[in-house]
Structure 1
């Protein structure tokens, strides 16, 4: 299966358990890996034979910048679900959500949730 990567998309959201996270918000980074057959798009140079990544970006933006989630696990789950629902040519999707500045008194390079969801077989 071929893969389409959308790396390090940046959004501003209000996700977190603590009230200050919901009030102040912060930047989040999202990476997607979409598994789908890209052979026809490659042969024909036809945008309708692939996934328009500008549209995928807008979908993810609406999710991240819309409703506030307590957990980035829930945020990632909703991104995966909506991508699979919206783009039927995608067989599976890996979503990686990075929260670079969690509100802890520990110095490290953020918190990351990564999950992979596959299309249910009919």
Structure 2
């Protein structure tokens, strides 16, 4: 099983439980790790035989654009779409980070990590 990672996908989104978070939004980063059998693509050198990074990035960006109160919810949607749309992927791990969260302290970011596997 091989690994593909997309690191530090940056988005501006309106996630959060507070009304002001919905209105003003904030910066987020997403790290994505997928596991898949990529042996065929190592031989064929064909995009059709691997997991397309563009498709992975598009899923992250589209799901981050849909407001959620909880990072858990958006992370679950990202993992589910990847497993639904990319049959080659066997396992996903997504880390969604809210930069400078409004939690009453000097905190650089808060990160939620969620892993899913194909049944």
TM-score in same-fold range (> 0.5): yes
User: Deviation at 1:29?
Assistant: 0.5
Deviates more, 1:77-86 or 1:102-111: 102-111
Which has the larger share of strand? 2
- Counterpart of 2:101 in 1: which secondary structure? coil
Q: Which contiguous aligned blocks of 4+ residues in structure 1 show a shift greater than 2 angstroms?
A: none
- Counterpart of 2:89 in 1: which secondary structure? coil
Spell out, residue by residue over 1:9-35, the C-alpha distance to the aligned partner (whole angstroms, 9 max, x if none).
011110000001000001111111110
Q: Distance in 2 between matches of 1:101 and 1:109?
A: 5
Spell out, residue by residue over 1:96-120, the C-alpha distance to the aligned partner (whole angstroms, 9 max, x if none).
0001111122112210000110011
1:68-83 counterparts in 2 under 5 A?
A: 68-83=67-82
The runs of 5 or more residues in structure 1 that have no matched partner are none
User: Deviation at 1:81?
Assistant: 0.6
In the alignment, which residue of structure 2 is the partner of 1:106? 105
- Counterpart of 1:43 in 2: which secondary structure? helix
Q: Distance in 1 between matches of 2:103 and 2:32?
A: 26
TM-score (norm 2): 0.97
